[in-house]
Amino acid sequence: MSWLLLLKNECKLQIYDMRQYWFESVGGLLMICGLFVALFYGAKSFAFDGEQAQSLDGLLIGFLLWGFASAAYLSVTKTVIDDTQKGYIEQLFITPKGITAILLVKTLVDLLYGLLFITIMAYLTMWLTGNWIDINLPMFYLALLLAAPSLVGLGLIISGFALVFKRVDTLGQLMALALMALVAVDGLPFGPLSFIPFTPGASLARAWVSGENPIQLMDVAIVLANSGIYLLLGMLVFKHFEKVAKRKNLIGQY
Amino acid sequence: MLSIEKVRKSYGDKTVLDDISFNVAAGETVALLGANGSGKTTTINSICQLIEFEQGDILFNNTSIRTDRRYLKKVGAVLGGSRNINWRLTACQNAEYFAALRGHSGKQLKQHISALEARLGLKQYHTLEVLKLSTGNKQKAALLSALAYSPNLLLLDEPTLGLDIDTVEELKNIIHQQSTLNGQAFLVTSHDMSFIDKICQKVVVLEQGKVIFNGDIASLKKALYSFKLEVKVPTQLIDNIQQKVEQLCMGRFQQHTRATNLYIEFESPQQVLGLLAWLNEQDIAPEHLTIMPLTMHDAFQTLMQRSKKA
């Protein structure tokens, strides 16, 4: 089957899911925006004085980065863990393209949905807080898409564990928390922190969001390398655990 | 179409598939039978590559499944334990989704799904997500998904589980129609022997991971007698009657007693005519006497008992 049909199929699945469970979709968005508004006013209650506005803008960008990072990381783990429990992961394994291909296409769709989600979230939270900032969304998205594979790789590693060890909820929740730190760390310019997944991408997104910083090819290369290494590592780890699960008859045994 | 060649699978010291071999040809419906833990599901999972086997090979259209995943485009499966569909989607949405994963889409597919939906009695639940359906209807939804893209080979692990009588009948019709008209092959595991008896041409029986029978249903029944006579008489007469059975019943037969009942399994009705005449001459009026053809269930039970004795 063509990749295009696979992509179309996963888009359709996402739309069915959003339409049939609209309360969950809308409720989730409102809940996260509510959380941000609470954070925003919490931060505002502290005395920021001179740098107040800049700090609040940073808070919004950080929040959007975290929203996207969570969507990217969770898209893979959600499929493997939820579908194992909901009961059709085996059917994804017995398709001609194989589970990894389906996971990657599902992730791409989730990322596109994630971008739509953070766009709505950005304008909704700016409107709710009255803190309008000038953001260059296309450049912001480009940086996020370049950096996303590193988080997909992390998701594949955790999903690989889930295939064999089944209950990895605690590890998954810890990772979701760790993402908050990842989006705050500066992975650029190149240094030891550049080796941490997603950190160069988060820095690039912060640099590009204002639209004032020029594109540095070296920075882009670091982000691509970070993404490539973690995606490859994730695929290898997932493949290894898939093999173990097949040898021990663990697929879907929940 | 499908050829299982000396497949072996072990978990540590325990061998769950012990050099099993059998074939499924195009248009053929084959039953895979055996007690719980005999290796049926492991065999199905090995064909789907959900399990990695150590030795032997599985060929699909003469190509090893280890080297070419494309065969999965032509294979469908309804696996055991309701683990086949997305419970957040409707039955039709599931069917379209899984068909698209194998490269099928379009108007013709939708028409086929709609027709199958009606035949399986799912039309009235068209708008309901699978999670809101009963266990039986969930199973129907899984069957709809697997039948939708008309795979060349369909693996059905306990397909009648939770289905009502009407749907079982319709499923038999669908399988018969798909295999005879479209040349689709089916490999079915089931504990519903009347279902197996009606739809399968061939049967493979597994016992502790070994194939103990591989042949057509008629030869299984023939090898294991065709009829059963059950007679209930006073206990003190049973020994005498058993001796007469040995004298009067010609050909191949076996007899055994349970409580005050005597059971004789034999090959043709003529074999017991002498016994019936003798009972009449002796004025022995049995409390109960029936002669019936042996069912698939009886044949399977006898085979399993023989295997255990061996």
Residue A181 pLDDT level (bands cut at 50, 70, 90): confident
Both structure tokens of B240: 């005498």
Separation in Å, CA of B45 to nearest CA in chain A: 9
Mean pLDDT by 10 residues, chain B (310 residues): 93 90 93 87 91 92 89 87 81 92 89 91 89 86 89 90 83 87 90 84 89 84 80 86 87 83 86 90 88 78 72
**Structure-model confidence comparison of residues A132 and B112, the more confident one:** B112
State mean pLDDT over A133-150. 87
Interface of B with A in 258-287 (CB under 8 A): none
| Closest by CA position to A72, among listed A152, A3, A8 | A152
Q: What is the pLDDT of residue B81?
A: 67
Of chain B, the end-to-end C-alpha distance in Å amounts to: 33
Is residue A49 assigned to a domain? yes
B70 shares contact with chain A (CB less than 8 Å): yes
Is residue A74 assigned to a domain? yes
Contact B86 A93 (CB under 8 A): no
Is residue A252 assigned to a domain? no
Nearest-by-Cβ selection for A87 from B52, B87, B102: B87
State mean pLDDT over A179-200. 86
Length of chain A as a residue count: 254
Is residue A158 assigned to a domain? yes
Claim: this prediction has a pTM higher than 0.90: no
Contact B50 A248 (CB under 8 A): no
Contact A9 B100 (CB under 8 A): yes
Convert B153-171 to b/e letters by CB count within 10 Å (16 or more is b): bbbbbbbbbebeeebbebb
Helix axis angle for A137-165 and A217-247, nearest 10°, is: 20
CATH code of B2-216, in short, is: 3.40.50.300
B12 shares contact with chain A (CB less than 8 Å): no
Q: What is the pLDDT of residue A239?
A: 93
Q: Which residue has the tokens 């043709």?
A: B268
Interface of B with A in 84-123 (CB under 8 A): 84-89, 93, 96-98, 100-103, 105
Could you tell me if A118 and A32 are in contact, meaning their C-beta atoms sit under 8 angstroms apart? Answer: no
Condensed to tens digits (0 to 9), the pLDDT of residues A37-59 reads 787 777 666 655 555 556 667 77
Separation in Å, CA of B60 to nearest CA in chain A: 14
Separation in Å, CA of A6 to nearest CA in chain B: 6
Which of A126-130, A167-171, B289-293 bottoms out in mean pLDDT, i.e. has the lowest?
A167-171
The residue of chain A nearest to residue B130, with distances taken between CA atoms, is A86
Residue A220 pLDDT level (bands cut at 50, 70, 90): very high
Structural domain span for residue A7? 3-247
B11 shares contact with chain A (CB less than 8 Å): yes
Best A94, A100, A103 member to test B by mutation, with max B CBs in 10 Å, is A94
CATH code of B225-293, in short, is: 3.30.70.250
Is residue A253 assigned to a domain? no
Contact A5 B103 (CB under 8 A): yes
Rounded Cα distance between B164 and B146, Å, is: 19
Is residue A254 assigned to a domain? no
Residue A232 pLDDT level (bands cut at 50, 70, 90): very high
Is residue A182 assigned to a domain? yes
A45 shares contact with chain B (CB less than 8 Å): no
Which of A5-19, A66-80, A187-201 bottoms out in mean pLDDT, i.e. has the lowest?
A66-80
Q: Would you put residue B17 in left (φ > 0), alpha (ψ -120 to 50) or beta?
A: beta
A3 shares contact with chain B (CB less than 8 Å): no
**Which chain B residues have a beta carbon less than 8 Å from that of A96?**
69-70, 72-73, 101-103
Separation in Å, CA of B70 to nearest CA in chain A: 5
Could you tell me if A105 and A14 are in contact, meaning their C-beta atoms sit under 8 angstroms apart? Answer: no
Q: Would you put residue B210 in left (φ > 0), alpha (ψ -120 to 50) or beta?
A: beta
Backbone phi, then psi, for B293, in 5-degree steps? -70, 145
Separation in Å, CA of B142 to nearest CA in chain A: 10
Asked whether residue A136 carries a pLDDT value surpassing 90, the answer given is: no
Specify the number of domains making up chain A.
1
A95 shares contact with chain B (CB less than 8 Å): yes
Q: What is the pLDDT of residue B44?
A: 92
The residue of chain B nearest to residue A4, with distances taken between CA atoms, is B103
Nearest-by-Cβ selection for B97 from A1, A9, A90: A9
Per-domain boundaries in chain B: 2-216, 225-293
Is residue A193 assigned to a domain? yes
Condensed to tens digits (0 to 9), the pLDDT of residues A72-112 reads 888 888 777 776 666 688 888 888 888 888 888 988 888 88
**Which chain A residues have a beta carbon less than 8 Å from that of B52?**
243, 246-247
Best B16, B52, B93 member to test A by mutation, with max A CBs in 10 Å, is B52
Separation in Å, CA of A207 to nearest CA in chain B: 40
Separation in Å, CA of A239 to nearest CA in chain B: 13
Q: What is the pLDDT of residue B310?
A: 65
